[in-house]
Chains A and B, each alone.
Chain A
Amino acid sequence: KAGVTQTPRYLIKTRGQQVTLSCSPISGHRSVSWYQQTPGQGLQFLFEYFSETQRNKGNFPGRFSGRQFSNSRSEMNVSTLELGDSALYLCASSLRLRGGGNTIYFGEGSWLTVV
Chain B
Amino acid sequence: TQLLEQSPQFLSIQEGENLTVYCNSSSVFSSLQWYRQEPGEGPVLLVTVVTGGEVKKLKRLTFQFGDARKDSSLHITAAQPGDTGLYLCAGEYGNKLVFGAGTILRVKS
- A residues whose Cβ falls under 8 Å from a Cβ of B: 4, 33, 35, 42-45, 48, 55-56, 58, 90, 92, 97-101, 103-109
- B residues whose Cβ falls under 8 Å from a Cβ of A: 2, 30-31, 33, 35, 40-45, 48, 50, 88, 90, 92, 95-102
**Chain A contacts for B42, CB-based, 8 A:** 4, 90, 92, 106-109
CB-based contact B102/A42 at 8 Å: yes
CA distance A35 to B101 in the complex (A): 13
Nearest 3 pairs of A and B residues by beta carbon:
A106-B42, A43-B99, A101-B31
CA distance A84 to B30 in the complex (A): 32
CB-based contact A99/B99 at 8 Å: no
Task: Given A90-B42, A103-B48, verify A56-B31 contact (CB < 8 Å).
Answer: no
Smallest CB-CB separation from B35: which chain A residue? A106
Among A56, A90, A109, the residue within 8 A (CB) of B96 is A56
CB-based contact B95/A104 at 8 Å: no
Besides the known contacts A43-B43, A44-B99, A100-B30, 18 further A-B residue pairs in the complex with CB atoms under 8 A apart: A4-B42, A42-B99, A42-B101, A43-B90, A43-B102, A48-B96, A58-B96, A97-B95, A99-B95, A101-B30, A101-B33, A101-B50, A103-B45, A104-B97, A105-B45, A106-B35, A107-B42, A109-B42
